[in-house]
């Protein structure tokens, strides 16, 4: 099924009151299971399967990513910083590697990364100025993806932005 506003593909068992991609609130009395689905030819559709969100073990350099976020050293870091709550910004501002708050800092970074992954497309040419994109990322962008492909694209964009700080997720496979 698809969101009636942005047409992102939603999981069959999705039951929330709003779209996780565009934030669109579904109309009251409009059952999610009756959301219109855009027809596609099964053989022409490639859908990424697997988890697009980041896990704790995929943060290779917590200090490095926190430093880039605090400094808002690039467009993506500025976007992530703005996506943090004020208390989380405080946690990252005060972050020291050996402090007990490092778990809180790690959780804050993970939360904002995953919020960005499942949100709308993050690519804007100015925001990604100076970021070297992999061919895989470029190819997926050309497809104007939706649904899990969009989440996968956002993840690839974050991996390309933070190659030293984040691990690449290679646990993906294509389904036709």
Tens-digit pLDDT profile for residues 24-69: 665 554 444 443 333 333 333 455 456 788 999 999 999 999 999 9
Determine the distance from the C-alpha atom of residue 171 to the mean position of all C-alpha atoms in its chain, rounded to a whole number: 16
Q: Enumerate residues 6+ apart whose C-beta is below 8 A from 103.
A: none
pLDDT at 50: 60
Give the whole-angstrom CA distance, residue 68 versus residue 82: 13
What's the pLDDT at 148? 84
Q: Structural domain boundaries of the chain? A: 1-39, 56-175
Whole-number pLDDT of residue 117 = 94
Q: Rounded to an integer, what distance in angstroms lies between the CA atom of residue 164 and that of residue 99? A: 23
Ranges of the chain with pLDDT below 70: 1-50, 98, 100-101, 169-176
pLDDT at 42: 35
């Amino acid at each position: 099924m698809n969101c009636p506003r942005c047409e992102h593909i939603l999981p069959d068992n999705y039951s929330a009151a709003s779209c996780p991609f565009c934030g669109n609130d579904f109309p009251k009395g409009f059952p999610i299971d009756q959301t219109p689905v855009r027809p596609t030819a099964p053989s022409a559709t490639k859908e990424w399967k697997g988890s697009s969100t980041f896990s704790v073990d995929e943060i290779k350099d917590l200090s490095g990513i926190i430093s880039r976020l605090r400094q808002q050293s690039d467009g993506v870091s500025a976007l992530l910083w703005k996506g943090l709550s004020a208390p989380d910004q405080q946690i990252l501002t005060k972050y020291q590697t050996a402090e007990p708050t490092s778990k809180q800092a790690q959780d804050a970074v993970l939360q904002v990364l995953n919020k960005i992954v499942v949100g709308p497309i993050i690519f804007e040419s100015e925001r990604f100025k100076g970021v070297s994109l992999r061919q895989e990322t470029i190819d997926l962008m050309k497809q104007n993806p939706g649904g899990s492909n969009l989440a996968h694209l956002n993840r690839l964009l974050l991996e390309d932005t933070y190659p030293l700080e984040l691990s690449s997720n290679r646990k993906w496979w294509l389904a036709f």
